[in-house]
């Protein structure tokens, strides 16, 4: 009987959260690698780039790839093995010892305003790496993952700024620890560039823009030196590399984030007259890497605006009075939004969300005796690196109120 009681007691101890006797985390799965080399040929003034995907090592590990490649954007597809276009998808079954797939992609893209969020001129090219290699579904051997590199063939006199480190050979190391298949993502700037680089904390910051674009790179650099440390305090998992790309017209007059990178139009102010910052709003998106569901876009956009204000205030860029004034202006604007439950968060919806989130922060602080705040909720969402749902957000808020 005594032995049985000790067995039950030991079982309860093992099940206790945070028990010292809890099993250690599982070791990472050892995986075999297959090599992937992406090669892109970009020509001055020509929006059509040629891209080749070649399996360089252990190609038999890949049974097929299905690329999301709309026919209007990806053309002239050829290669070794079986290639079948099925609507806006291309199914490739590699064959041979050095299988390859090649296509032509249009790097230019525009928004409803007619301005570009991807373009190629005689002097520069700005686009997202996601366009070079579209989203891919892949069937591969168990316990394998890619080891990917990118080679850029550019016109004479052009340089490249991307979110990826380079080898001595000039090829780029394309790596995402959270993915089994690594492909280029984030903002690319190619051409005749002016570049500023700085290390801020654990982050290597690169600011790039085409020459002659009236981009204030040093102003941006000083702004980030002032504010980025506060952002890193809120998000300890902030990327170790950050690329900021900027340009003037006819690029889109706004800002767009990407993995470890963001684009901001040259005319966007570092801090707007209402006390908000487009730069920091997009930087929160970079830090959180959060994707929204139809019921949670207000959460993702609201957190970006909320923490952009917090960073400005905590860094001393906004005084207490201006911080309060900024929140009051957002609260007034938010009255134009009847509800937060919309598929896409517009300006008034995001403004309303900021007020809701600010009250949540106060509630969390009171309920937890000051042990927790909305910072903890945002950190948890950033660490999960997955789509944000309303249910998950509410669960994290409830947990924070309990001081967990």
- Proportion of the chain above pLDDT 90, given as a percent: 80
Cβ pair 309, 322 in contact under 8 A: no
Which of 103, 175, 93 has the alpha carbon at shortest distance from 140? 93
Return the higher-pLDDT residue of 341 and 354. 354
C-beta atoms surrounding 178 within 10 Å: 8
User: What is the count of structural domains for the chain?
Assistant: 2
What mean pLDDT comes out for the span 143-168? 95
pLDDT over 70 at 6, yes or no: no
C-beta atoms surrounding 17 within 10 Å: 6
308 and 179 part of one domain: no
Which of 28, 27, 36 has the alpha carbon at shortest distance from 140? 36
Domain boundary among 170, 188, 206: 188
Which of 67, 63, 133, 134 has the alpha carbon at shortest distance from 95? 63
Q: Please state, in angstroms and rounded to a whole number, the distance separating the CA atoms of residues 255 and 297.
A: 17
Q: Would you state the structure tokens that stand for residue 164, as one six-digit string?
A: 């990826």
Say which CATH number the domain at 95 has: 2.60.40.3650
Q: Please state, in angstroms and rounded to a whole number, the distance separating the CA atoms of residues 341 and 347.
A: 14
pLDDT over 50 at 75, yes or no: yes
175 and 310 part of one domain: no
58 and 170 part of one domain: yes
41 and 166 part of one domain: yes
Q: Give 378's DSSP letter.
A: H
Q: Please state, in angstroms and rounded to a whole number, the distance separating the CA atoms of residues 146 and 150.
A: 13
DSSP states of 78-140 as a string? EESSEEEEETTEEEEE--SSS-EEEEEEE--EE-TTS-EEEEE-SSEEEEEHHHHS--EEEEE
**Residue reference for tokens 């290597």:** 204
Return the higher-pLDDT residue of 110 and 1. 110
**Over the stretch 299-338, which tens digit does the pLDDT of each residue have?**
999 999 999 999 999 999 999 999 999 999 999 999 999 9
Residue 199 covered by a domain = no
Which of 355, 304, 357 has the alpha carbon at shortest distance from 334? 355
pLDDT for 30: 59
Domain boundary among 169, 188, 207: 188
What SS3 class is residue 345? coil
pLDDT for 370: 95
pLDDT for 234: 96
- Proportion of the chain above pLDDT 70, given as a percent: 92
Q: Is the pTM of this model over 0.85?
A: yes
Q: Answer whether the bond into residue 250 is a cis peptide, omega within 30°.
A: yes
pLDDT for 294: 79
**Domain assignment of residue 337, given as a range:** 291-401
Q: Would you state the structure tokens that stand for residue 181, as one six-digit string?
A: 């298949």
C-beta atoms surrounding 290 within 10 Å: 21
Q: Would you state the structure tokens that stand for residue 162, as one six-digit string?
A: 């991307």
- From residue 48, how far is each of 69, 71, 101 by CA, in Å? 14, 14, 17
């Amino acid at each position: 009987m005594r032995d049985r009681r000790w067995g039950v007691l030991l079982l309860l101890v093992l099940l206790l959260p945070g028990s010292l006797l809890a099993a250690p985390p599982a070791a990472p799965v050892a995986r075999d690698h297959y090599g992937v080399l992406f090669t892109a040929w970009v020509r001055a003034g020509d929006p059509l780039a040629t891209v080749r995907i070649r399996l360089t090592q252990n190609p038999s590990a890949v049974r097929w790839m299905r690329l999301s490649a709309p026919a209007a954007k990806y053309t002239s597809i050829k290669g070794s093995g079986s290639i079948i276009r099925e609507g806006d998808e291309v199914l490739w079954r590699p064959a041979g010892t050095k299988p390859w797939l090649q296509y032509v992609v249009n790097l230019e893209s525009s928004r409803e305003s007619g301005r570009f969020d991807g373009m190629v001129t005689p002097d520069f090219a700005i686009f997202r790496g996601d366009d070079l290699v579209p989203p891919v579904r892949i069937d591969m051997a168990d316990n394998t993952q890619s080891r990917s590199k990118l080679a850029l063939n550019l016109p004479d006199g052009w340089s490249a700024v991307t979110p990826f480190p380079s080898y001595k050979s000039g090829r780029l190391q394309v790596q995402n620890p959270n993915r089994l298949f690594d492909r280029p993502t984030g903002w690319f700037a190619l051409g005749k560039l002016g570049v500023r680089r700085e290390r801020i904390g654990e982050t290597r910051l690169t600011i790039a823009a085409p020459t002659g674009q009236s981009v204030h790179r040093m102003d941006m650099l000083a702004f980030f030196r002032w504010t980025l440390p506060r952002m890193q305090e809120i998000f300890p998992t902030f990327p170790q590399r950050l690329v900021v790309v900027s340009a003037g017209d006819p690029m889109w007059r706004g800002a767009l984030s990407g993995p470890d990178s963001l684009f901001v139009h040259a005319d966007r102010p570092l801090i707007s007259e209402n006390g908000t910052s487009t730069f920091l709003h997009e930087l929160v998106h970079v830090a959180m890497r959060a994707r929204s569901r139809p019921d949670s876009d207000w959460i993702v956009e609201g957190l970006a605006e909320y923490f952009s204000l917090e960073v400005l205030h905590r860094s001393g860029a906004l005084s207490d009075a201006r911080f309060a004034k900024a929140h009051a202006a957002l609260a007034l604007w938010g009255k134009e939004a009847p509800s937060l439950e919309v598929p896409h968060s517009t300006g008034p919806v995001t403004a309303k969300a900021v007020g809701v989130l600010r009250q949540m922060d106060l509630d969390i602080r009171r309920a937890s005796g000051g042990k927790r705040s909305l910072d903890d909720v945002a950190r948890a969402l950033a660490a999960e690196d997955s789509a944000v749902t309303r249910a998950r957000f509410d669960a994290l808020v409830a947990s924070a109120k309990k001081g967990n």
